[in-house]
Chains A and B, each alone.
Chain A
Amino acid sequence: MPDTSLTGQPLKADTFASFLPNSNVGKLAISPELSGGARQTFSQTTVDQEQPDNQQQFLSFVTRPIPKPPNPKPAPTLRPLQLWEGTIIECQNGSFVALVNDRTDPLNPDELVTFESVEVSKEDMKLIQPGASFYWTVGVERSPAGQIRNVEMLNFRRLPGWNASSVREAEQEAREIADLFASE
């Protein structure tokens, strides 16, 4: 059975840590011998003599113990406190109204909330249209230097356009259903 845990196949060959820039690309191929025997167990992890290597992914994002390429970019981290998902129902001049539902506590009532377009990033501006949906987060951000600030973010959902095959399939299915209903 293929392994879909994050740690995956034998850790030393296949974790993010081993792919950090000072790794040798040639080590990346996973030999059948390494993975085959471990298929007896679900997790397929070999016995790892060192510290749990699978945590290296996050370690690398937070403390970067392994040398990075030029211009490493430590990033701020966000602790989300509250999340809503919203759908725009009305666009006004310079603002929009969205129906939001509380993803942190679904027992809270839905709300109609007004947002100003200036709160939206330049790149997301073109996404402001009725029917568009977004994630609205309030949280606490910590900078790499340790500074804390309260933040609020709107991230528009980025989904692809309809492909022709979906439309064709839907039309075909609709024809079959219409025939089914017509025969009743």
Chain B
Amino acid sequence: MPEHTLEISGSSVVLVGSFNPAIFHPEWFARNGLLPQGEVDSAELQVIHPQLSQFETERFAFQITSDRFTGITKPNTIADPLKDLILGTFYILEHTPIQAMGLNRILHFAMGSVEAWHRLGDKLAPKEPWQEILEGRPGMRNLDILTSNESPKGSSLLVRIQPSLLIQPGVYFEINAHYPAPERAGLKSMMDLLKNQWETTNKKGEEIARHILDWAASEG
């Protein structure tokens, strides 16, 4: 039995800036050729409101507030069309002020056994010091590791590890590549990064998760 298997994955793009949620109706995407009409016709509108827009299509889900735009793929949908959709949207809305962008990869791994699951948690956050002072059965619930990147300036990477809610025994990884936008030409800069970094970031996210899982599975 393999020590771990990737069962569910997804990607998201989060933009921090200034948005008008009322624009983001599924029909707008169809009118601008960014989504097929068929997908728009079957979209599920949850909220369309001046302060919030939220809807789902067959492949994606979106949530837009006045200062945050989030697009996320449905589980196990291929991620590249989301990148195209974001690029296309902000090519049309070329004057949108953007302050930062996050490219996120979400991964749920099934662990081969409960023992393997515990082994990961024990290695990342040894129970020993906690058992000495806490009652019950203390266990790792969340681990965030943050590092800064050399380029572009101010960018960073956050890796979040938690027990998976969807798969038991399983592990959830969320890898956030964060990019602050420059003051001038912020949107253009972020869209260039999205175009050029999307594939690398997605692959890197999976690489990081597998590295940690392999390390946990190894002796020592």
Contact = CB atoms under 8 A, between A and B. Distances in A.
Interface of A: 1-8, 16, 19-21, 25, 28-30, 42-43, 51-52, 54-59, 61-63, 69, 73, 75, 77-80, 83, 85, 103, 121, 123-124, 135, 137, 155, 157-161, 163, 165
A19 B166 contact: no
A95 B78 CA distance: 25
A42 B174 CA distance: 14
A80 B144 CA distance: 28
A83 B83 CA distance: 15
Contact of A61 (B75, B176, B199): B75
A55 B164 contact: yes
Given A19-B63, A55-B162, A79-B76, A157 B84 contact: yes
B52 A25 contact: yes
A160 B34 contact: yes
Interface string B24-37: 00000000111111
Interface of B: 8, 10, 12, 14-16, 32-38, 42, 44, 46-47, 49, 51-52, 54, 58, 61, 63, 65, 68, 70, 72, 74-78, 80-81, 84-85, 87-88, 91-92, 94, 99-102, 104, 106, 108, 141-142, 144, 146, 154, 156, 158, 160, 162-166, 172, 174, 176, 178-180, 199
A106 B155 CA distance: 27
Nearest to A57: B72
A124 B36 contact: yes
Contacts of A28: 51-52, 65
B91 A163 contact: yes
A5 B178 contact: yes
Contacts of B8: 58, 62, 77
Do most interface residues of chain B lie in helix, strand or loop, or is the interface mixed? strand
B92 A163 contact: yes
Given A5-B14, A6-B102, A29-B51, A158 B44 contact: no
Contacts of B92: 160, 163
B100 A2 contact: yes
A80 B178 contact: no
Contact of B160 (A7, A79, A157, A158): A7
A160 B76 contact: no
Contacts of B160: 5, 7, 43, 54
A25 B50 CA distance: 12
A58 B166 contact: yes
A77 B74 contact: yes
